[in-house]
Amino acid sequence: MSVRKSKLVEIGDRISEWVSNLFAHPYLQVGVILFCVAWFWLGFHAESLTAALSILAITLTQMVLNRQNDREAEDRKRDVAMHAKLDELLHAMKGARDEMAGIEVLEEEEIEELKEQAKEAIDAQGERAGDPGERAAAKAAVEQAGARAKAQVKSRRRKTGGSA
């Protein structure tokens, strides 16, 4: 259900991406400093430089924010797809707990509790769980999922001012 962007918006997105990547490069940052030093050394008016740098700062800020919003939209799309795939696997897998599907909407503490329960269940299986490499991979997957969920909760809290 994504909204198709107009050609003009797509062009603006490409320009924003290019400019924000360019100005993020350390060499260009040093170049801006050298430009400012040269400006004063040559005796030009400081007011002109101040105005130009102010306009540049505002424009760059908007371009960087535009690029960040695009990246977050891409990340969200990827996360939704990953959760849909994992939910499908949880429902299809024999012995999997169906209540694990959709846990991304729970509070961080509840997710941590489910993560610990999953770790305990893996440990309880012991040697009966099959290949030791598979057990290690399962534990790592549980830990990664918990870390990802924790990061998403923190990100959501930052976006909403800590109330999520």
Each residue's pLDDT expressed in tens, for the chain with a length of 164 residues: 557 888 998 898 888 889 888 888 899 989 999 999 999 999 999 999 999 999 999 988 888 888 888 888 888 888 888 877 777 777 777 666 666 777 777 788 888 887 787 777 767 666 555 666 666 777 777 777 777 777 776 776 676 665 54
Query: Please, are residues 8 and 16 in contact by the beta-carbon 8 Å criterion?
Result: no
Cα(139)–Cα(52) distance, rounded to whole angstroms? 54
Amino acid, res. 115: K
pLDDT score recorded for residue 103: 76
Q: How many CB atoms lie within 10 A of CB 79?
A: 13
Q: Are the beta carbons of 91 and 101 closer than 8 angstroms?
A: yes
pTM over 0.75: no
Cβ proximity of 133 and 126 under 8 Å: no
What's the confidence (pLDDT) of residue 160?
Answer: 65
